[in-house]
């Protein structure tokens, strides 16, 4: 009887640990907050362009150069290059039912990464390969137009109702779109993630089919504490935004 009771307690503990950790992995072992410097703000939907004519479609996550970036989920990924984003890795995964019961796929882009690590070294340009949760897909760099800014990764997420569109997403600055299915996804995401995890944000949830990547990662992975490495953040990133500036627990 004692043995059975011990097994039950152990199983419950494992279940609680798994639910706390989440089905995904966070993108890094470190967390320095959001970029904010003389070149611009890095928060989601921040004003960009002359006079704020367009909105920032992702978040600029501050990191040290050569920090490892992990695939948060198992899926397929490729790398591309252009003069603005520099080297980028696009990861396509099916979103788990804990986010929305219907079938949705996301395309997550890591931009301004290094040419000297991850998929950029392993595969040919624009060729999808299978990747696994926790696999190093890129190293932080300063490629593209990020050369004059603090080291960061522009991370953005697009949501689609089919895998083909997710795979074809080019993540250009103005190509976000929406549809009836996106409205349904927002409702499910708000109910299943934000309400259940008691997350509150001062930023919009979505811009067309681009959603706030930090909220998605908070929903599906155990993220680092909001004020990780306080001394290093203060020394190297005095102009950054802390996560708690935009995101709080209810």
Other Cβ atoms closer than 10 A to 154? 26
Find the helix packing angle between 213-220 and 180-189, rounded to 10°.
50
Average pLDDT, the chain: 85
243 within a domain of the structure (yes/no): yes
Burial grade of 18 (CB within 10 A; 0-12, 13-18, 19 or more): exposed
pLDDT of 1:
40
Residue 17: pLDDT band with limits 50, 70, 90: very low
d(CA 90, CA 128): 9
237 within a domain of the structure (yes/no): yes
The two three-digit tokens of residue 69, written as one number: 């970036």
68 within a domain of the structure (yes/no): yes
Could you report the per-residue pLDDT of 113-148, keeping only the tens digit for each? 999 999 999 999 999 999 999 999 999 999 999 998
Domain hosting 41: range is: 23-249
1 within a domain of the structure (yes/no): no
> Nearest CA to 120 among 74, 69, 73, 80?
80
pLDDT of 15:
30
Question: Is-contact 213 155, C-beta < 8 A?
Answer: yes
User: Percent of the chain at pLDDT above 90?
Assistant: 64
pLDDT of 235:
56
pLDDT above 90 for 197: no
Residue 105 sits in a domain whose CATH number is: 2.70.70.10
6 within a domain of the structure (yes/no): no
Residue 250: pLDDT band with limits 50, 70, 90: confident
Mean pLDDT for 65-92 is 97
47 within a domain of the structure (yes/no): yes
113, 68, 32, 57: CA torsion to nearest 10? 40
Residue 37: pLDDT band with limits 50, 70, 90: confident
0.75 exceeded by pTM: yes
Other Cβ atoms closer than 10 A to 132? 11
Looking at the structure of the chain, the number of domains it has is: 1
> Nearest CA to 220 among 17, 1, 20?
20
Which H or E run includes 165?
A: helix 163-168
State the residue for tokens 């909105």.
55
218 within a domain of the structure (yes/no): yes
pLDDT above 80 for 151: yes
156 within a domain of the structure (yes/no): yes
pLDDT of 125:
96
Between 153 and 52, whose confidence is greater?
153
């Amino acid at each position: 009887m004692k043995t059975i009771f011990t097994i039950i307690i152990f199983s419950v503990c494992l279940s609680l640990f798994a639910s706390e950790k989440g089905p995904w992995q966070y993108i890094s072992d470190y967390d320095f907050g959001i970029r904010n410097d003389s070149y611009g703000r890095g928060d989601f939907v921040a004003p960009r362009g002359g006079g704020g004519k367009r909105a920032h479609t992702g978040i600029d996550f501050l990191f040290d150069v050569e920090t490892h970036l992990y695939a948060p989920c198992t899926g397929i990924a490729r790398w591309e290059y252009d003069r603005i984003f520099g080297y980028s890795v696009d990861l396509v995964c099916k979103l788990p039912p804990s986010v929305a019961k219907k079938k949705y796929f996301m395309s997550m882009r890591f931009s301004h990464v290094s040419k000297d690590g991850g998929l950029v070294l392993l595969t040919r340009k624009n060729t999808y390969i299978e990747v696994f949760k926790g696999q190093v897909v890129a190293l932080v760099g300063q490629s593209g137009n990020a050369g004059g800014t603090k080291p960061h990764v522009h991370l953005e997420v697009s949501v689609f109702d089919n895998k083909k569109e997710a795979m074809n997403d080019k993540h250009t600055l103005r190509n976000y779109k929406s549809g009836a299915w996106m409205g349904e996804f927002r409702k499910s995401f708000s109910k299943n993630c934000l309400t259940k995890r008691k997350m509150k944000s001062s930023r919009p949830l979505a811009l067309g089919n681009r959603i706030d990547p930090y909220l998605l990662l908070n929903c599906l992975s155990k993220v680092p504490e909001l004020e990780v490495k306080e001394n290093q953040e203060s020394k190297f990133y005095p102009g950054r935004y802390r996560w708690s500036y935009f995101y709080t627990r209810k």
